[in-house]
């Protein structure tokens, strides 16, 4: 046996204790803690148990202080050597402050290489960021004060321009944080933090100028735009869409919608130039459009008449109908209210059919706006693998960027096609909200809809193309 399987001596070195555990104060407190623990286990008295817990808290406090002191001394003594900042004195490999691959960020990272080349080709720059160079620079000037970070003696902060580039690239592609991190040569958690911070800054900085709460003058201007689409006294097209997200932990069915996915709801009011004028973001996916409206701040302000909607006015050439309210146009998922018009239910003929067609002709503006949003910002084509709070910030930022690109542009109000229908393709990035629940309307709301239907059949309100439907 000694020839076939001889004895061998192998030295096994035990794992060394963490250096901060060897501190004198920690050692003494540990002895005291064990002493009172033995007393408590022997007597089983509550007073001795309380003394033991107090001693244990003191030991943990001393241990934490010793650990902080240990690493503080390492940082002070290696402030110019980032590679060994958090290395311990055991046999395990040292943890790196910055990975060796990421150290080449300022030479090989996407921002310092590819993006600098794209600046010489505006078309490719726009395809990469969904903004051209002038729009990018304007946006950077607005949000830079909110996203700038201070350099430290340990490392240089990521510039506002690079932070904005990372966020826009994420919104434009919907790629995972890890994919963006590999491209820009930084940590995935760093990218996640940057996206969250920049999206918040985009919303906060652009909100006063690109999505202000409309006053009476603004509502009248919006109504003028819709009047060109043959629906007077209309101040917005309203609809809700689902933004698909990863199932949040311990959320049950709160975010589970009727299409079998998890989502948050984007409720929006759009003007005649595809701009979002009011948005409510973050409602549970299980809610219907009517339920989302009822629980939103917009719905509450509408019920309390605090939106600053203009007073009732006469429709052009229809003095006999009297003053008519300014209304939002919605689909069957919303309730019929004095300021919310929805189509007549079921199969209709005559003036009801004409009313439904005229309403749908204008309400398509919000559907087109959702389609443009999802087509431009491809993050809507993916499942957002983030928390509902971060998803809400992402949706806010894209809605604000949507307005930013169109606010001052001379967007032409779209004309109706010869067949009487919109030619826009439906969006797959945003899903229709469910049509659930009952919508019982008051007599006043029914009377308003009847007057609009009568007006569209009168000589003053009819349009040539409605005879072909």
Confidence (pLDDT) at 96? 56
Alpha-carbon dihedral sign for residues 102, 103, 108, 113: positive
- Within 8 A by CB and 6+ apart from 127, the residues are none
- Within 8 A by CB and 6+ apart from 204, the residues are 146
End-to-end distance of the chain based on CA atoms, in angstroms? 101
In this structure, the number of other CB atoms found within 10 A of the CB of residue 251 comes to 13
**Is the CB of residue 159 less than 8 Å from the CB of residue 194?**
no
Alpha-carbon dihedral sign for residues 421, 329, 291, 243: positive
Tokens of 423: 């030619």
Tokens of 280: 């409510």
Confidence (pLDDT) at 452? 93
**Is the CB of residue 170 less than 8 Å from the CB of residue 177?**
yes
Rounded to whole angstroms, the Cα distance separating 456 from 448 reads: 13
Residue 313: phi and psi, rounded to 5, are -140, 160
In this structure, the number of other CB atoms found within 10 A of the CB of residue 221 comes to 13
**Buried residues in 368-382 as b, exposed as e (16+ CB within 10 A):** bbbbbbbebbbbbee
Three-state DSSP class for residue 256: strand
**Is the CB of residue 317 less than 8 Å from the CB of residue 422?**
no
Residue 172: phi and psi, rounded to 5, are -75, -25
Q: Which residue in 130, 132, 114 sits closest to 122, CA to CA?
A: 132
Rounded to whole angstroms, the Cα distance separating 412 from 98 reads: 51
Rounded to whole angstroms, the Cα distance separating 93 from 91 reads: 7
Tokens of 420: 């009487």
Q: Which residue in 348, 399, 354 sits closest to 372, CA to CA?
A: 399
The DSSP code sequence of 358-416 is HHHHHHHHHHHHHHHHHHHSGGGGS-B-S-HHHHHHHHHHHHHHHHHHHSSS-PPPPPP
pLDDT in tens, the chain (469 residues): 677 777 777 666 555 667 778 888 888 988 998 998 999 888 888 888 889 888 888 988 888 888 888 877 877 777 666 556 545 444 344 455 678 888 888 899 999 999 999 999 999 999 999 999 999 999 999 999 999 999 887 778 999 999 999 999 999 999 999 999 999 999 999 999 999 999 999 999 999 999 999 999 999 999 999 999 989 999 999 999 999 999 999 888 999 998 899 999 999 999 999 999 999 999 999 988 888 999 999 999 999 989 999 999 999 988 988 999 999 999 998 999 999 999 999 888 888 999 999 999 999 999 999 999 999 999 999 999 999 999 999 999 999 999 999 987 644 555 544 444 443 433 445 655 544 344 456 789 999 999 999 999 988 888 888 877 7
Confidence (pLDDT) at 343? 93
Confidence (pLDDT) at 247? 93
Angle CA 390–396–401, to nearest 5: 125
Confidence (pLDDT) at 417? 41
Q: Which residue in 331, 326, 354 sits closest to 342, CA to CA?
A: 331
**Is the CB of residue 210 less than 8 Å from the CB of residue 403?**
yes
- Residues across the chain: 469
Residue 92: phi and psi, rounded to 5, are -75, 155
Tokens of 306: 């605090």
Rounded to whole angstroms, the Cα distance separating 358 from 327 reads: 14
Tokens of 53: 């817990």
0.75 exceeded by pTM: no
Q: Which residue in 321, 318, 339, 319 sits closest to 330, CA to CA?
A: 339
Confidence (pLDDT) at 419? 40
Confidence (pLDDT) at 394? 97
Rounded to whole angstroms, the Cα distance separating 469 from 465 reads: 8
């Amino acid at each position: 046996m000694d020839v076939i399987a001889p004895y061998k001596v192998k030295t096994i070195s035990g794992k060394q204790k963490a250096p901060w555990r060897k501190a004198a104060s920690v050692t003494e407190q540990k002895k005291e803690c064990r002493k009172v623990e033995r007393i408590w286990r022997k007597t089983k008295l509550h007073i001795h148990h309380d003394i033991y817990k107090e001693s244990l808290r003191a030991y943990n406090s001393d241990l934490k202080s010793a650990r902080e002191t240990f690493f503080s001394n390492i940082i002070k003594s290696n402030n110019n050597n980032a590679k060994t900042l958090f290395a311990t004195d055991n046999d395990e490999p040292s943890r790196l402050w910055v990975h060796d691959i990421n150290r080449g960020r300022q030479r090989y990272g996407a921002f310092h290489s590819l993006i600098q080349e794209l600046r010489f080709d505006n078309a490719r720059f726009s395809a990469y960021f969904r903004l051209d160079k002038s729009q990018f620079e304007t946006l950077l000037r607005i949000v830079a004060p909110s996203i700038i970070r201070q350099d430290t003696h340990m490392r240089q902060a990521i510039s506002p321009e690079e932070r904005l580039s990372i966020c826009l690239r994420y919104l434009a592609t919907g790629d995972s944080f890890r994919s963006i991190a590999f491209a820009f040569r930084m940590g995935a958690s760093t990218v996640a933090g940057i996206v969250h911070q920049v999206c918040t800054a985009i919303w906060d900085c652009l909100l006063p100028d690109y999505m202000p709460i409309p006053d009476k003058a603004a509502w009248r201007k919006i109504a003028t735009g819709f009047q060109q689409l043959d629906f007077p006294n209309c101040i917005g097209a309203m609809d809700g869409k689902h933004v698909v997200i990863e199932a949040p932990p311990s959320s049950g069915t709160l975010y589970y919608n009727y299409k079998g996915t998890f989502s948050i709801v984007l409720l929006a009011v759009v003007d005649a130039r595809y701009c979002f004028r009011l948005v409510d973001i973050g409602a549970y996916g299980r809610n219907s459009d009517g339920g989302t409206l009822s629980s939103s701040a917009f719905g509450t302000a509408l019920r309390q008449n605090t939106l600053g909607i203009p007073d009732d006015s006469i429709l052009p050439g229809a003095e006999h109908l009297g003053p008519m309210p300014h209304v939002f146009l919605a689909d069957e998922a919303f309730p019929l209210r004095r300021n919310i018009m929805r189509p007549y239910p079921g199969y209709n003929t005559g003036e009801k059919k004409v009313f439904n067609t005229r309403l749908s002709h204008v309400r398509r503006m919000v559907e087109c706006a959702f389609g443009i949003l999802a087509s431009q910002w491809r993050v809507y084509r993916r499942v957002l693998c983030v928390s509902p709070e971060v998803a809400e910030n992402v949706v806010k930022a894209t809605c604000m960027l949507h307005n930013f690109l169109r606010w001052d542009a001379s967007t032409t109000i779209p004309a109706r096609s010869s067949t009487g229908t919109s030619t826009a393709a439906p969006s797959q990035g945003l899903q229709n909200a469910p049509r659930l629940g009952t919508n019982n309307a008051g007599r006043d709301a029914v009377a308003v809809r009847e007057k609009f239907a009568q007006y569209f059949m009168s000589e003053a309100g009819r349009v040539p193309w409605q005879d072909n439907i």
